[in-house]
């Protein structure tokens, strides 16, 4: 199971970090916290499911060849 930070999720969705945090707080994107005030960790499959529901494209970083 792969977890992403809010910053990594924001990069894949091409939105800001604040937008991802707001989506989590609104309950639209599932995330976990390791500690009560810690940073969010987003399951990559949850992000994929969210993008599919919203008909969004995830932008994977390109690998150098």
> Distance between CA 15 and CA 42 in Å, rounded?
15
Give percent of the chain above pLDDT 70: 95
Q: CA–CA distance from 62 to each of 12, 33, 59 (Å)?
A: 11, 29, 9
62 pLDDT higher than 80: no
In a domain, 60, yes or no: no
At 1, the pLDDT band (50, 70, 90 cuts) reads confident
- For 19-48, what is each residue's pLDDT tens digit? 999 999 999 999 999 888 889 999 999 999
In a domain, 62, yes or no: no
In a domain, 61, yes or no: no
What are the structure tokens assigned to 54, written together?
A: 């919203």
The number of distinct structural domains making up the chain is 1
């Amino acid at each position: 199971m792969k977890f992403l930070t809010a910053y990594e999720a924001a990069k894949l969705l091409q939105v800001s970090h604040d937008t991802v945090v707001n989506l989590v707080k609104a309950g639209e994107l599932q995330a976990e916290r390791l500690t009560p005030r810690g940073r969010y960790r987003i399951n990559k499959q949850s992000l994929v499911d969210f993008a599919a529901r919203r008909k969004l494209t995830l932008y994977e970083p390109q690998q150098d060849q």
